[in-house]
Structure formats: structure tokens, C-alpha cells
Amino acid sequence: MNQRRESVMSDKRVSFLGLGVMGYPMAGHLATHGYAVTVYNRTAAKAQKWQQTFKNQVADTPAQAARDADIVMMCVGDDNDVRQVAEQALTVMKPGSVLIDHTTASASIARELAQICQEKQVDFLDAPVSGGQAGAENGQLTVMVGGDAAVFEKVKPVIDVYARHSQCLGESGSGQLAKMMNQICIAGIVQGLAEALHFGERAGLDCQQVIDVISKGAAQSWQMENRAGTMIAGKYDFGFAVDWMRKDLSIALDEARRNGSTLALTALVDQYYADVQKSGGGRWDTSSLLTRLR
């Protein structure tokens, strides 16, 4: 990070709305990098815990947090949550300020918010993230951004406080569309890995030994490197939940119906995740696809 650019940006007043698994550490990185941060969380206890840890300001409402802020970030649940929280923040955001939404949501809500922001002379970026809880805690997220490239360049030093890579990929909605590509890839890769482990177990192989070998070759993936061992051990408590994945795949499948793309594998894996939910695994991580096969 260019230190002079960061110190110029840290004069900015920043507010962060939504201190969940992702938002809590992201807002924490802003505070530890010297930004004056005001946070808001619907469940006040989390905001109080954050305040005790990071010694910055807490607000009681999104509007109170966003008042006077130069940059307002948010990371909540789905489209409805984004609409609710953003609408409240936008009642007070000043012209020239920037609203950055890190939630994984639809491209249409991104375009809708960009339009509302434009009317209020506020800049808007859709900026979903990848990298999971560990990426948020280590400040190593990948951020996929949609919106005005010049606005992105202005706020990039702030985003990069918790990102190892951030990039503007086109007009409003492009960040969300890129995140959909990310989730489409993950669905197919995790199902492939689950099937390989299922096959290996039935074949009587030592699956961990096989993974150690094939992860050096063309079958290698992040999922193989990071999840195969825990899948073999039957442990499914490693971050991104099946319930969230189904929300993301539903957004991608809706978008595919709009743009005419064929997502046969994604649609199938989405139904497999529905099976996992039915068996009580909504909060298990996405690698729990293997439970259907065992």
C-alpha cells in the first residue's frame, strides 16, 4: 500500500453497517489502520463488543452512522436487507460521499441503488467479496467492483485495507455478476471433489494419500487444498454456509434466466444443496455436499 495515499484517505470519515461474520473484522481492519469508523449493527450487543475491541464509535441506526461520513460501507444479508439498510443511510448521506455495498446480492438491486444514489449525488459501488471468514479476518479478501472506475480508484486505498485484490469490472451490477461467476465455479468444483472422495472411499483407497498426490497435478483447486482433508474427516464447520450458498445460486440462476445462459450443472448442484438443507445442514459449510453421498 502506498503510505502517503493511505494517510490521505485515513482523514476520511468511514462508516460500516452490518457487523456479521464478514463485516465485524472488515470494520476492525479500518479501525486498526487509523480510520475514524462509526459502526452500526442491528443486534446492539455485537456493536458494543466491536466498540470494546476497536475503540471507535457506535451508532444506534444506519442513518446515525452514515451522517457526515465520506464513505459508507455495508455488508448485510440479501437484497431486502440491502434495500432496508441503504434506504436509511441514504436519508442523510451528503452529496459527494460514496456508498459501497459488500453484500452478495443481485445485479438488479445494485442498479436500483446506483440510480437512487445518483439522484442524491452520492456515488455507489457494488463490491461483493470472496475469501470467506478467514479472508475477512486476515484482510485478504478479493473484491469485485461495479460502478464508476474513477470513484473506485478514489476509494481503492480504503477497500485495500481488507483486500489482497480489488478491481472494478464495469458498470453498476458488474461486481455482483462477477461474484455470480465465482459461485458458479465453486458449485461445480465442490461437487466434483465430493464425487471424487465418494468414489475413492468406495474403491478402498486412502483418500488423503490420493489427494496429497493429485493436488500436485491438474486436478488441484483451492477447495482440494483447503477442504478435502476436512471433508474426509466429516467436518463441515468451516465458514460459508449452505443457506448463503443457496441464496447466491438462486441469484445466479435468476440472472441466467434473464441473460439466456445455460447453467445445467449449477442448477443440479443447487438441488443437491437443497437436499443438504433438508437433512438439517443449512449452517454446514459448502463442502457438506459429500454428506449426500456417504
Kindly state whether residue 23 participates in binding ligand NAP, applying the rule CB under 6 A.
yes
> Using CB under 6 A, which residues numbered 81 to 120 contact ligand NAP?
81, 84-85, 103-104
Strand partners, 141: 163
**DSSP per residue over 7-28, as a string?**
HHHTTSEEEEE--STTHHHHHH
User: Is the Cβ of residue 97 or residue 176 nearer to ligand NAP in the bound state?
Assistant: 176
User: Is the Cβ of residue 88 or residue 221 nearer to ligand NAP in the bound state?
Assistant: 88
Cβ pair 13, 158 in contact under 8 A: no
Instruction: State the CB neighbour count (10 A cutoff) for residue 164.
Output: 13
What SS3 class is residue 192?
Answer: helix
**Measured between alpha carbons, how far is 128 from 111 in angstroms, rounded to an integer?**
14
The mark string for 184-213 relative to ligand NAP (x by CB under 6 A, - otherwise) is ------------------------------
> Using CB under 6 A, which residues numbered 26 to 55 contact ligand NAP?
41-43, 46
User: Is the Cβ of residue 74 or residue 196 nearer to ligand NAP in the bound state?
Assistant: 74
**Among 14, 58, 66, 75, which residue interacts with ligand NAP (rule: CB under 6 A)?**
75
Strand partners, 130: 142
The mark string for 215-254 relative to ligand NAP (x by CB under 6 A, - otherwise) is ------------------------xx---x----------
**Measured between alpha carbons, how far is 218 from 253 in angstroms, rounded to an integer?**
28
**Measured between alpha carbons, how far is 96 from 184 in angstroms, rounded to an integer?**
35
Q: Cell match 464495469: residue?
A: 170
Active site residue 216: no
Of the candidates 6, 46, 9, the one whose C-alpha atom is nearest the C-alpha of residue 17 is: 46
Kindly state whether residue 155 participates in binding ligand NAP, applying the rule CB under 6 A.
no
Active-site option among 46, 49, 94, 179: 179
| Residues with catalytic roles | 179
> What residue ranges bind ligand NAP (CB under 6 A)?
18-23, 41-43, 46, 75-77, 81, 84-85, 103-104, 129-130, 132-133, 239-240, 244
